[in-house]
Amino acid sequence: MIFQWLDERLELKKFKEKFLTKTFPTHPSFLFGEIALFSFINLVVTGIFLGLLYEPSIKDVSLFGAMVPAAYASVVRIDLLPFGMIIRRIHHWSAMIMIASIMIHLGRVYFTSAYRKPREINWLIGLILLAVTILAGFTGYLLPYSEFSVTATSIAYFIAKSVPWVGGWIARFLFAGTFPAPGTIPRFFFLHVMLIPALLMSLIGLHLLILMQQKHTEPAANKKRKEALGGRKLIGIPVWPEQSFISISLYCFLLSVVVLMATYIPLNPVEQYGPPSVSTPLVRPDWYLLPIYGFLKLIPGTFSFTLAGGKFSPETLGGVIFPGILGLLLAAIPFLDRARDPQHYIRSPLHRPVMTSLGLAVATFIFMCAVAGYIDVLHIAPQVMAIYIGIATVGVWLVSYLLLHFRRAKKGYDVET
């Protein structure tokens, strides 16, 4: 009765026929996109709880007899609530998992050439999603307003300030003045809680709409199966009920893993670091920003020059130019490795020596830059570390290319275009 009443107004039967019968691929690597989506749901739910209790202000308030910033005091009080610390940790680890799953998802798309025509737009949307998710993590990093978070965020302030010609304006706009300014916390709170989540929801919705319109890519073996069956329908399982039950099971498993991580793996203890002070503790950013941090440590502190009135410093090269070039190269991939006709079948990385070896080399370079963030602990000179990075990058590229090239020649695969 209720379904009939709703169906007369919302045409639920047409919705079922159009969307719930969509075919979903069965390969488990496609589930990383769902993991990112489920992590975002966890972030929204836990973020609502934290946002209701958080005070985005640095005015002094009393906490256990001491005067501390209100933002810091509110986080300490959240940790003292029943399950407050667990929920804050769930929020943190969900963000880490979302960033990691998006990276793995993009890696799968790259190594299987699923970015080719007509899916260039969704590749670009995926890159923007990754960048915005990292920005969400960065803006949330400052909100506890502890000595640790303020010191770590100050690195980003000097990077923003180092942008030639417009760095001062950009830094003042993003940080609401000279960091740390009274308006920095409200500015970051607005970005983290309102603007960035709205942007993420829009990008995720657009990504899914394009995916439903273009359909997913399939393994090359499915082409022969469909030709044998005499049809063109996608091979997979329908969204309802098979894929829906798989997704529900995956979400429950993901939630259990995140809760276990939140229970046993601590965050940066705000109570131990305390509110901001004149001291500057040794800090390193989270893993997803470590390559930039490590690349900065490789640049000599004396590096500096002026061009057309704009000053270029180590922060400019490592924090602006390096990630900028990397982002542009990733965005250009579908247009450099383009196809004339629409490509609906994925290609094995073993059959693509050029693109696979380049992808492995870039991944090695980024990983080694992350390791460079610990050269003070490893007691390695920056110059020596730079040589290690070059040897590892070139070595991985050369070995992987030769192995795949000779394998393809031996197997007799088609020449890669």
DSSP string, 76-144: HHHHHSTTHHHHHHHHHHHHHHHHHHHHHHHHHHHHTTTTSTT-HHHHHHHHHHHHHHHHHHHHHHHTT
Backbone angles phi, psi at 118, to 5 degrees: -105, 25
* pLDDT of res. 29: 81
3-state DSSP of 261-327: HHHHCCCCCHHHHCCCCCCCCCCCCCHHHHHHHHHHHHCCCCCCEEECCEEECHHHHHHHHHHHHHH
Q: Per-residue pLDDT for the chain (417 aa), expressed as one digit of tens each? A: 676 877 777 776 766 666 666 777 777 888 999 999 999 999 999 999 999 999 999 999 999 889 999 999 999 999 999 899 999 999 999 999 999 999 999 999 999 999 999 999 999 999 999 999 999 999 999 999 999 899 889 999 999 999 999 999 999 999 999 998 999 999 999 999 999 999 999 999 999 999 888 888 877 666 655 554 555 566 677 777 788 899 999 999 999 999 999 999 988 788 888 888 877 777 888 999 999 999 999 999 888 899 888 999 999 999 999 999 999 999 999 999 988 888 888 888 998 999 999 999 999 999 999 999 999 999 999 999 999 999 999 999 999 999 998 887 776 655 443
The pairing of strands 310-312 and 305-307 is: antiparallel
* pLDDT of res. 50: 97
Paired with 23 in beta bridges are 238
The pTM score is: 0.93
Question: Which residue, chain included where needed, has tokens 């920095």?
Answer: 184
3-state secondary structure of 23: strand
C-beta pairs of 390-395 under 8 Å, 24+ apart in sequence: 392/364, 392/365, 392/368, 393/361, 393/364, 393/365, 393/368, 394/361
CB 78 within 8 A of CB 84: yes
**CA 393, CA 209: separation in Å to the nearest integer?**
37
| Superfamily name with CATH number, domain 31-339 | Cytochrome Bc1 Complex; Chain C (1.20.810.10)
- The domain locations on the chain are 31-339, 348-417
**CA 365, CA 385: separation in Å to the nearest integer?**
12
Count, residues in the chain: 417
Paired with 150 in beta bridges are none
* pLDDT of res. 391: 98
Residue of 350, 337, 298 whose CA lies nearest to 319: 298
* pLDDT of res. 93: 97
* pLDDT of res. 26: 75
Q: Max Cα separation, the chain? A: 78
Residue of 317, 286, 282 whose CA lies nearest to 302: 317
Q: How far apart are the first and last CA of the chain?
A: 58
Question: Which residue, chain included where needed, has tokens 């972030």?
Answer: 43
* pLDDT of res. 347: 86
Q: What is the DSSP annotation of 197-263?
A: HHHHHHHHHHHHHHHHHH---B-THHHHHHHHHT--PPPSEEIIIIIHHHHHHHHHHHHHHHHHHHH
Q: What is the DSSP annotation of 360-396?
A: HHHHHHHHHHHHHTTHHHHT--HHHHHHHHHHHHHHH
